[in-house]
Structures are given as structure tokens and as C-alpha cells.
Chain A
Amino acid sequence: MSQAFVEIRHAQKSYGQLEVLKDISLNVDRGQIVAIIGPSGSGKSTLLRAINDLDPLTGGEIWLDGVQVNKALPHRQYEKHINQMRQEIGMVFQHFNLFPHLTVRENVTMAPKLLKKISDKEANALAEEQLDHVGMLERIDYYPAQLSGGQKQRVAIARALAMKPKLMLFDEATSALDPELVEEVNLVMKKLAQEHMTMIIVTHEMDFAASVCDRVLFMDQGVVVEEGPPEQVFKNPTQERTRNFLRKHLEGAK
């Protein structure tokens, strides 16, 4: 059986009586970029956070590169397994979640030093390389509080990339930014796209999704209502719910 690089099989998630994800399946090939759009509360974050088991599913399977992320193991073994898997899955949050007590350099090197046992010299080279990549090398010895939102998010991306992940997850990476700072973060993400990083991007920015993504998923109330290439989902949506959402969104953007 041939397997996709990332596979979500029949993902189901409930909080008590509330079913937040209802049997969602999704395949993403290596190097593909998938956007997830949909109204607030539709389950986008929950799905994304299920992929690295931050919010464990109540049913279904997540696979990455032939390995099941959420496989059933005894507690201790599972902790080891999931920590290993998470090293391969980078995540970028809406509110950056940089470590405020560490410098930009230390934010980037902390996990590689701790988990990959690299030397200080290697760690520094890694930090410089990753920060250069996102255009933040000059701020390497600053603290997060001394950066703008856009700069923080670029550092957060560098921090995730420093673990050399196979997959990057973005949960509304630009939603908390002032409009004039959105572009610098989008540019970094576009750069990653050109380098064929596999990415799943939850976003409210339809233009960005249309220009960067291979595929768009429209979610509503815990189900994938519609999916396809951006031209189709944005220009010729087949579902009434998708049309309504896009219309409302367009009105909101004006």
C-alpha cells in the first residue's frame, strides 16, 4: 500500500458531548502545501494540534512518513515516541510563544542543544544559519520583548526550523500581527514553499493561501466541506457553505 507523506485517517475529536472533529481524512504529499480555512470554531486549530498530539484525538490515526504519530503505546514508551515525533513536526503559533527569558539565539538553540546534544559551536552556527534564513541575524542577541510582532514570528519560525522538521504546521501565524507586519512573515513562508517544505497552514488570508498553497481545505463545524486546488475552491466553490463563507469573508475584508 502506498502511503502519503502525511496521512490523517478518520480523525475524530470530542470534548465531552461536543464533537469538534467529525471523521476527517487528509493526505498531504511530501513538499505539498495545504491551507485550511474556515470560520472561527470550526475545528482548524484542533485538527492542526492533533497532528503533533498537542490535542490528542479521540479517534483516528495520524501518520508521518510511514510512522504513526498517535500510536497506542504504554505511557512511558509513548512519551518517548511522541517527543521524538514532535522533533520532526515544527509548529508556529498565532501568539509566537517565544521564550521571553531567553535571547533570540537561545530560543533557537535550546531544543537542538538539549535533544540533539550538539556542541555550543554547532548550535551557534545553526542559530546563525536559521536566523539568517528568516532575516533576523542582526537581532540574534536581543530578547523577544525587544522585537516587533513580525520579527518575533520570524524568530519562532527559525526556532522550529532549527529542529530540521519534516513538516511545518502554522496556526494563524499572521493573525496577531499589525497589517504592516504581515508581509515579512508571509515572505518567509513563501521562501519555505520554494524550498519544498511540507506545510499545513491554517489561515484567514485567502490571497496568501491562493498564491502559495497547492490545495485548500474548507472546514466548517468539524467537517471538511470542500477541498481542491485554490483556483477551484476560491473561484468555483461547489458547496453553498463555502460560497457563504467566502462572501462573508470578502465583505469583512473590505
Chain B
Amino acid sequence: MDTELILKVYPYFLEAAVVTIELSILTIVLGLICGALGATARLSRFKALRFLGAAYVSFFRGTPALIQLFLLYFGGPQIGIQLDAFEAGVIGLGVNIGAYMTETMRGAIIAIDKGQGEAARTLGLSREQAFRKVVLPQALRLMIRPLGVNINAQIKGTALVSAISVVELTYTAQRYIGSTYKPFEMFFLAGVLYLVIITITGKGVAYLDRKVRLPA
């Protein structure tokens, strides 16, 4: 392995890793928003909203993220959506991971025992109060770890935007192969940086999960 080369190029890879981190944060934030809206729709009292939520989930989980990205970035201009590659990456991947997060959040909410909401309603709380004060705080605790799994997948998933030429880690590795002819070193370096980002994030999720855990 050519360590000298790695030492020479790694500052450029660090810059690219910053882009990967930005992409991750933005897509995850957008995903959480879409997930919350999606879960609300899926659990709504109104049939039309439930249908909309289900359609959202089945489209974005039922087609490759890469196709969704191409559809938005290359197909978008045809229907009047002009985005640069970074914007398309954030929106495309954020809305995509939002579909997975919708199901994660919905799963956590419906996993809360029905008796919890009933007990709250019995005391006189409205449906909304019962949800906010009793069901949601318990569901939030329950969804931290599975959302962590979605987040882990999403960080790795940002590599897809290399296909629309966003200069992030994977794209940078490919570009340096063109000039160095050292694919092993370049992909190895990129892989290590992904691993660092994912490990730190995983520790953060585990910390949060521990912090809100109830005494047994």
C-alpha cells in the first residue's frame, strides 16, 4: 500500500468528507421532517391522508434511490424543476430516507400499549393531549435506535450522489483514481473516513438512547 500517496491526498479527502457530513446532516434532518409528516399521515383519522402516507412510503421504498435521484436531477428540468447537483442530492435522498423513517416512527407509535392512551383519555385528556403527554414521549424513546439504523444507512447512502457528480467522498475517490491509478488506496482511504463518521454517529445514538432510558 502506498502510504506516501495517502498522506499526500488525504487533506483533499477530508474536504470531501465535510461535504459527505453536510449531505448526511441535511438529508437526515429532511428525512426526520418527512418521517414525522409521513407517520402523522399514516396514523391519521382521515382516509385520504392515510392513503397519501402509504403511497409516499411505497413509492420511495419500492424504487431504487438512484432512480429517484436521476428522476429528480435529470428528469426535473423537463417538468420545470431546476436544481443543482447538491440540492438534488439533499432533496432526493432526504425524501427517500423519510419514507423509511415514516415506518420507523409509525412502528414505535403503534408499539405503545393501547392502554396508555386509554388511561390518559379516561382521566379526561383530549386525543391530542394524550398523544403529546403519554404516547409520544414513550414512542420517542422507542424510536431512537431504529432511527439510528436509518441514519447509518443514510450516511452510507450519500455515496449515491457521486453519480450526479457531487464532490463528496466517493466521487473524490473516483476522481483521484483517474490521476493516481491507485484504486485500492483511494477507496481504502474513503472507506476509513466513512467508518469514522459512522462510528461517531453510532456512539451518539447509543448515548442518546442511554440518556433517556427509564430506570428499571
Given the known inter-chain contacts A114-B129, A114-B133, please indicate yes or no for A101 contacting B214, CB distance below 8 A: yes
Q: Does the CB pair A97–B113 fall under 8 Å?
A: yes
Q: Is B200 an interface residue (CB 8 A)?
A: no
Q: Does the CB pair B141–A143 fall under 8 Å?
A: no
CA distance A145 to B121 in the complex (A): 22
Q: Does the CB pair A95–B115 fall under 8 Å?
A: yes
* Shortest distance from the beta carbon of B78 to any chain A beta carbon, whole Å: 45
Given the known inter-chain contacts A115-B124, A145-B214, A145-B216, please indicate yes or no for A99 contacting B119, CB distance below 8 A: yes
Q: Is B134 an interface residue (CB 8 A)?
A: yes
Residues in A whose Cβ lies below 8 Å from that of B214: 100-101, 143, 145
Q: Does the CB pair A97–B121 fall under 8 Å?
A: no
Q: Does the CB pair A93–B115 fall under 8 Å?
A: yes
Q: Is A244 an interface residue (CB 8 A)?
A: no
Q: Does the CB pair A79–B127 fall under 8 Å?
A: yes
CA distance A91 to B134 in the complex (A): 17
Q: Is B165 an interface residue (CB 8 A)?
A: no
Q: Is B123 an interface residue (CB 8 A)?
A: yes
Residues in B whose Cβ lies below 8 Å from that of A163: 123-124
Interface size grouping (class) on chain B: 20 to 34
* Shortest distance from the beta carbon of A104 to any chain B beta carbon, whole Å: 12
Complex: chain B residue closest to A55, CB-CB: B118
Interface size grouping (class) on chain A: 20 to 34
Q: Is B126 an interface residue (CB 8 A)?
A: yes
Within 8 A of A (CB), among B110-161: 113, 115-116, 118-127, 129, 133-134, 137-138, 141
- Partner of A86 from the list B122, B134, B141, B216 (CB cut-off 8 Å) is B122
Q: Is B215 an interface residue (CB 8 A)?
A: yes
* Shortest distance from the beta carbon of B108 to any chain A beta carbon, whole Å: 13
Residues in B whose Cβ lies below 8 Å from that of A115: 123-125
Within 8 A of B (CB), among A94-137: 95, 97-101, 110-111, 114-115
B interface vs A, CB < 8 Å? 113, 115-116, 118-127, 129, 133-134, 137-138, 141, 214-216
A-B contact pairs, 16 of them (CB 8 A): A52-B122, A83-B126, A86-B124, A87-B123, A93-B118, A98-B119, A99-B119, A101-B137, A101-B214, A111-B125, A114-B129, A114-B133, A115-B124, A145-B214, A145-B216, A163-B123
* 11 extra interface residue pairs, beta carbon distance < 8 Å, beyond A91-B122, A99-B119, A145-B215: A54-B118, A79-B127, A86-B123, A87-B124, A95-B115, A97-B116, A99-B138, A100-B138, A111-B124, A114-B125, A156-B119
